[in-house]
Structure 1
Amino acid sequence: MKAVIMAGGKGTRLRPLTCNLPKPMVPILEKPVMEYTIELLKKYGITEIAVTVQYLPEHIKQYFGDGSRFGVTLHYFEETAPLGTAGSIKNAESFLDEQFIVISGDALTDFNLQKGIEFHKQKEALVTIFMKQVENPLEYGVILTDENQQIIRFFEKPRWNEVFSDTVNTGIYVLEPEIFDYLAPGVPTDFSKELFPLLMREQRPLFGYSADGYWSDIGSLGQYRKSHEDFLDGKINFPLPGKEILPGLRVGENVMIDPQASIKTPAYIGSGTTVRQNTKIHPYTVIGSHCMISSRASLKDSILWDGVYVGVNTELRGSTIANGTFIDEGSRTLEHSVIGNQVQIGKRVTIKPEVKIWANHSIVDYSTIDTSLRELSKVSLDRKGKRETIFLSGAKSPVYHKEI
């Protein structure tokens, strides 16, 4: 059997993490989420894989190459313009000349794919959708099946008053090549909004398979954080990276931890990272590779990507920090703040809760940031007394303040 990994998503709800990175390349415990998808396919003997790409495709191609490093063979199909979920599959029709499975490159799952494939064959289905029960179905396609597991109702992203089931579409499908008869080349088409309703109207064999196991759509910053917690809690049937040196503490290679540092688990520290004396690392903290955590820093429930510098006496509280960011001494980042790549944060800066800072910003010393910073274009200065107030172009209220 062959597979298709849909890897063209922009991940707009994950910004600023995805401003310079395609959504399938967002790391979870140092590995791009798409790498877990490849490992799952390989586990079930599926090694001939098409990858549909569109947004920043060079990142995916450079990291995965032809797939040989991962024990699979990858074939790339690039869209010059967005074709939708189903349209992107049509783009790979020449490769998909037999029964195949479609899976998202930005979802984390340990589903037993073989059981779903066997279900599909037993039902002689044209399409089988892997389904999962969730607490909040509003962001997904809601599904209702009859006693034979044939889909009888499907509604994409309903409002609460439209919800008729807590069972949703996971975006994992087993398909027959006949599906291409319903897709026109070069025409943007969505599985959930267009193709599946069409198949239901024509009473084609569209079935739902209730899958057991873990599934998380890495579609929002909150879900991205939750997936890390689930991994550390052992809820996902994938081997955790690194070596467990204490119960619940896993580390990569060449990690240096000062004996006077305090680490509470579960936690993860990536290769080549240094943790200085009197640092406090609290549970559910994930630190990437080649980071520097300076003395007396305090990290709680935070996710750091690679190459992050954390200064003396800093506090990170429920934050997500992307590659190469520098946080100087005495600064604080508060709950659900998100810092993009290569941001320079000065001394004793406070990043307020929920604030997002796009890549390459420089925040001056002693600033308080209470508004998300995207592009700092035209800047007006208001010098009154001993304070300098910085405005974003068009903003009605200050973005940050600096003592002068």
Structure 2
Amino acid sequence: MKALVLAGGSGTRLRPLTHSSAKQLVPVANKPVLFYGLEAIAEAGITEVGLIVNPRAREIREAVGDGSRFGVEVTYLVQEAPLGLAHAVLVARDYLGEDDFVMYLGDNFVVGGIRDLVTAFRAERPDASLLLTEVPDPTAFGVAELDAEGRVVTLEEKPARPRSDLALVGVYLFTPAVHEAVAALKPSARGELEITDALQWLVDRGRTVRSTRITGYWKDTGDAEAMLEVNRQVLESLRPRVEGSVDAASELRGPVVVEDGATVVRSRLEGPLIVGAGTAVRDSRLGPYTSIGPDCVLADTSLAYSIVLNGARIEGTGPLEGCLIGRHATVAPAAPAPHRLILGDHSEVRIRS
């Protein structure tokens, strides 16, 4: 069995952060979202991974490499344009051959992994298997309608009038039967080859399409709010660890990680919280539910429920909450009232007091 991981999207909902960085590499708890998916695939016993990327994927190639750090072998497959999930399967046709495969969206986050799902699929081998979860706004997702016995009846991509509240989670499992379905597709009104149409093709021809309702946590990390929520979820299981320097005038409460080379001076850190390697913190109050990347500077500031990427500098700010601060961004000085900032890489913001 192989895996097909989709990492070619441009991340428009995370702009300006993704103007200079792939959305799949935005970190959660100081680790790129894409890495969690690759680890879940390896943990499920799959070692061959086809990684769908766009033509400008240098950053992803450098971060993932040959996949050996995750225990997998990565083959890069270039999708020239974002023409749909089913189009990605078409691009990967030669690589996938006649193997079963799991298709995993690289910006999705599934707590608990996919091992049980893969094990069940290998044992039963339906033509397709998909994950479903109830969502408050199905119009933003692919939606499945089930009959009274729980069988998949209809599937539709981002319907204006959804027939159910069951959204497709970004994990699908297929036998080679899906290739015939994909080859028969025409572009949708969105101009894309939709994976929901491929699944519907299989259903209409009496092929076996099974679904499982996800019981754990799942999130599409496509926007800032989702990124912050997933960051919070991951930090819930953080274990305290201090490898850097914390002076006697500082206080650490709850699960706090201070990575190697980081320094904390005259500050209060409330976990769950990660301070990345080489980061300097002084005269500040940080956390909870905050991830600070490596080589940052935080001085005379208050920050909580936020993600700060590597090299950022935040000085002299009042209370900041719910922020997503890009690489090498600068924030200084701050007014006493709370501010919420979402900054792209190398940004600089100066707030009038």
Q: TM-score, normalised by structure 2?
A: 0.87
Q: CA deviation at 1:283?
A: 1.7
The partner residue of 2:254 within 247, 259, 263 is 247
Partners of 1:267 and 1:95 lie apart in 2 by 41
> CA 1:332 to 1:81, structure 2 compared with 1: closer, same or farther past 3 Å?
farther
Q: Which residue of 1 aligns with 2:247?
A: none
* Residues 1:297 and 2:301 aligned together: yes
Q: Which residue of 2 aligns with 1:384?
A: none
The partner residue of 2:281 within 264, 271, 275 is 275
> CA 1:76 to 1:283, structure 2 compared with 1: closer, same or farther past 3 Å?
same
Q: How does 1:251-266 map to 2 (within 5 A)?
A: 251-258=258-265, 260-266=266-272
Q: Which residue of 2 aligns with 1:182?
A: 181
Provide the secondary structure at the position in 2 that maps to 1:144: strand
Partners of 2:120 and 2:147 lie apart in 1 by 15
Partners of 2:113 and 2:305 lie apart in 1 by 31
Farther off after superposition, 194-203 or 90-99: 194-203
Query: Higher relative contact order at CA 8 Å, sep ≥6: structure 1 or structure 2?
Result: 2
8 A contact 2:28–2:291 mirrored in 1: no
Q: Which residue of 2 aligns with 1:60?
A: 60
Identity, % of aligned positions: 27
Partners of 1:40 and 1:34 lie apart in 2 by 10
Q: Which residue of 2 aligns with 1:85?
A: 85
Provide the secondary structure at the position in 2 that maps to 1:290: coil
Count of paired positions: 338
> CA 1:290 to 1:106, structure 2 compared with 1: closer, same or farther past 3 Å?
same
Q: CA deviation at 1:163?
A: 3.9
* Residues 1:102 and 2:103 aligned together: yes
Q: How does 1:336-375 map to 2 (within 5 A)?
A: 336-346=340-350, 349-350=351-352
8 A contact 2:240–2:256 mirrored in 1: no
Question: What is the aligned-residue RMSD (CA, Å)?
Answer: 2.5
Partners of 2:113 and 2:229 lie apart in 1 by 22
Structure 2: tracts of 5 or more residues without a match: 243-251
For residue 57 of structure 1, what is the amino acid of its counterpart? A
> CA 1:284 to 1:333, structure 2 compared with 1: closer, same or farther past 3 Å?
farther
For residue 248 of structure 1, what is the amino acid of its counterpart? P
8 A contact 2:310–2:327 mirrored in 1: yes
8 A contact 1:112–1:212 mirrored in 2: no
The partner residue of 2:212 within 174, 192, 209 is 209
8 A contact 1:52–1:89 mirrored in 2: no
Partners of 2:337 and 2:292 lie apart in 1 by 15
Q: Which has the larger radius of gyration?
A: 1
Partners of 1:304 and 1:155 lie apart in 2 by 37
Q: TM-score, normalised by structure 1?
A: 0.77
Q: Which residue of 2 aligns with 1:225?
A: 228
Q: CA offsets, 1:175-227, max 9 Å, x none? A: 011211222399751102x3223333333222112233221110221111111
